[in-house]
Structure 1
């Protein structure tokens, strides 16, 4: 005799409950989602812990982590979005996301994850800019970018010279001169200050414009760099190289600037707080302090924020719902976010973590950076981030090598960047 309709329903419900219990007990995944990210060791270890905690709370979802070298990830994701060969979710740099969104092939944040109003209420304003497009958010930030960074000081070198940690630019320059070492031919073999790379050439220059009371965007969304404030900013950084001679182009171009600092080829370094996580993990004998970088002008130390690392879900993802569950956990759960941030000494996107005692204690080596969050301003739509920053870097190098004067350089930057931006507007 067949089962009645009621008994069949009871059987189905019972089977469903039993299956759910088996899944919870055995860890059998109902969905396997793939997460792509870059290969920074502290980011990877933090994300592995994040995945482990997520899977404990969501045993029906298994996350497969795929890691790519940093230079390859942005192109890999864009190619995947265009061809449909995509992961379920990727962790990427916020400024990469603007061209991804414009393809129309990125999933907007579902309302069950969070609403636009909730994001704007809960997150640092500078952490949202690159995710917003035509009234919707297409991703959620995991951190707040501190692009300008702070000052790392080698305490052994400083103390051997009988100096204390500098607090003003006058003190940084004075100490830098005393800490710079030259060989018998007069060439710098240890710089007082290392900072010149593509990121710093942009972040310091744009920050300097704001710190001198200027704005580098016009009302139409194009740059205005042929200004007195831009001249003051670029002149200041030119003088570190040519007038004060505390920065060596030869040394700075020999490796990434933080690696120059690790090798003790420079006494001081300008870079964000994540450098501290590398020092802690790989250079435990390097006694280093991280302090605030002063303003170069009369205004507070404003800085351009690039909408840092975060998550997006492609429209073609195989498991969008499960992917968004992971993103929600990674970005909106305070405990999960705190644990990930502390691994790489990053700054929170969630406002509720800005004064969080547990996070501040865990990141006490970069605690000063938290006081700088209020000065961050979204950098703006750079069109192509790589081309934008490359233009400023290349022309800055012309100034530092005395091939171009500052006034001509800022005019050239403005012209070349705006020509590039026309392709994206």
Structure 2
């Protein structure tokens, strides 16, 4: 299949339904899972529907919008209602690797991390990553990212000069070639690495890496001015996945949690 991704959520759900497996009355393998790193995935779905989660001018969150509810339906409520997803005891990467789900949605390191594992017959596990489905037909998915992992130098570090030189080195091609394999080489911090052999070739890991990198022009950082306080945000997603909250109720809970977190952060900066 030469396609870079699914044509629609409906197509992805149809594949998940085909891959779901039952043994008697019990589900032995769920069709799909997006569980894990929920907030980032949800913010991406919202943006793909045309609404950024944070209004910097009004200093408020947009989880009380129609787009927010629609995003929660696409991300969690609909696959749960279809019976192809449920709240599991692990995130989607581990669930896929353990054979608990047929389709895992979210983490761009699925392919390279899966390639490190062996199947029960001793052969290498093969996982291919494709692009997310479009939330609006005919439009590209738009992503919201947390900016990835990196290095910070404390302002009062004892060996500050050495620490700064290390941080500078990590931004070089040599440093990145040392660092990016930690996450399977999916998204490096500098484009100078992209001509390296780890990104060249036709095996599914390298193809998956290039797909992840190709999404970068459509990705924005989620910003700092809302305080970065995500405490408790996992709860609405978990309850929606359990069927305990509707999409609308989960969005209201998320709006309340994030608003409270933002107020606490603002209060903490007034000293």
TM score, norm. by length of structure 1: 0.54
- Alignment correspondent of 1:301: 141
SS of residue paired to 2:177: helix
In the alignment, structure 1 residue 364 sits paired with structure 2 residue 206: yes
Closer/same/farther in 2, CA of residues 276 and 402 from structure 1, 3 Å limit? closer
The number of residue pairs the alignment matches comes to 251
Q: Cα RMSD (Å) of the superposition?
A: 2.5
Aligned residue runs from structure 1 range 171-320, under 5 A: 171-185=11-25, 187-197=26-36, 199=37, 201-218=38-55, 219-236=57-74, 237-242=76-81, 244-249=82-87, 253-283=88-118, 285-298=124-137, 299-320=139-160
**Which sections of structure 2, spanning at least 5 residues, go unmatched?**
267-271
Shift of 1:324: 0.9
- Whether 2:262 is the aligned partner of 1:413: answer no
Cα displacement (A) at 1:357: 5.2
Deviations 1:184-215 (A, max 9, x none): 12x21101212212x1x212221111111112
- Counterparts of 1:174 and 1:165, CA distance in 2: 17
TM (norm. structure 2) is: 0.83
Which has more radius of gyration?
A: 1
- CA distance in 1 between partners of 2:125 and 2:40 (Å): 26
Aligned 8 A contact 1:193 1:246 in 2: yes
Contact 1:276 1:345 in 2 (8 A): no
Structure 1 counterpart of 2:220: 377
SS in 2 for 1:291: coil
**1:146-161 residue pairs with structure 2 within 5 A?**
none
Distance 2:89 2:252 in 1: 29
Q: Say which structure is richer in strand.
A: 1
3-state SS of 2:200 partner: helix
Q: CA deviation at 1:340?
A: 2.2
State how 1:89-108 maps to structure 2 within 5 Å: none
Q: Can you give the 5+ residue segments of structure 1 that lack an aligned partner in the other structure?
A: 1-154, 156-163
Deviations 1:261-284 (A, max 9, x none): 111111221232323333222336
Moved over 4 A (4+): none
